[in-house]
Amino acid sequence: MADIFTSENLIFLIQGAGVSLLLAFGSVAIGCLIGILLAAAKLSHSKVLNFIANVYVELFRGTPMLLQILFFFLGVPVLFQRITGTRMTANPYIVGLLALSFNSGAYQTELIRAGIQGVDKGQWEACATLGISYRTMMKEIILPQAFRHIIPPMVSEFITLIKDSSLISNIGALELLYRSQILGARYYDYLDPLILAGVLYLIMTVITSYFSKKLERKLAQSD
């Protein structure tokens, strides 16, 4: 049992934690881009864009993330083969990144929409009076102000993604949880590797939460 606590095994798990962090970073970044586009669609006067954005948000927020991961990993290759007649092998890391990103995008859409709507109406009226174009107004005035209020909940979304990255262990990605299971099978002892994985998840989320609180205080002082 003591053999589990070797430097080699600890490095093996820490590397898995690094994979989880990279997936979370990538997912929150891609999800942010999706969120900006869909928030703009929801705030537009186009019924078509509103419908598309609402369907996307409800679809990804209303179904389990594990189902989404399995659909992209198992279902999409089947659809691809039926359409093209060519077999496709899904990469678990790419699938995990895309599934986490699409799911995060649905949640970030609502965060960004609320942040944009939270900008004082006087700012919108001033831009209209000065004849500033909608694109320039959003890029230079509205979004920078909105993101000051959006950043704290987006950090919370990042923490959620760190934990949710464990779900891609179900499709064979060598992130932190899957590596702990490998060590458990190797030593016929799942307790200690799972505890170590839990400690590493806790360290990542606690550190992120600490910096998030510091950022919130800094943003509150600058208001």
Residue-wise pLDDT tens digits, 177-195: 999 999 999 988 899 999 9
pTM of the model: 0.88
The predicted structure's pLDDT at residue 1: 47
Percentages of the chain per state (helix, strand, coil), in multiples of 5? 85, 0, 15
CB atoms within 10 A of CB 148: 16
Q: Is the pLDDT of residue 222 over 70?
A: no
Report whether 101 contacts 136 (CB < 8 A).
no
The predicted structure's pLDDT at residue 138: 75
- pLDDT tens string 93-152: 999 999 999 999 999 999 999 888 877 777 777 777 777 776 777 777 777 777 777 888
Report whether 179 contacts 15 (CB < 8 A).
yes
Report whether 215 contacts 152 (CB < 8 A).
yes
pLDDT bin (cut points 50, 70, 90) of residue 43 is: confident
The predicted structure's pLDDT at residue 212: 83
Q: Is the pLDDT of residue 13 over 60?
A: yes
What is the rounded distance in angstroms from the CA atom of residue 176 to the CA atom of residue 195? Answer: 12
Task: Identify the DSSP state of 89.
Answer: P
pLDDT bin (cut points 50, 70, 90) of residue 44 is: confident
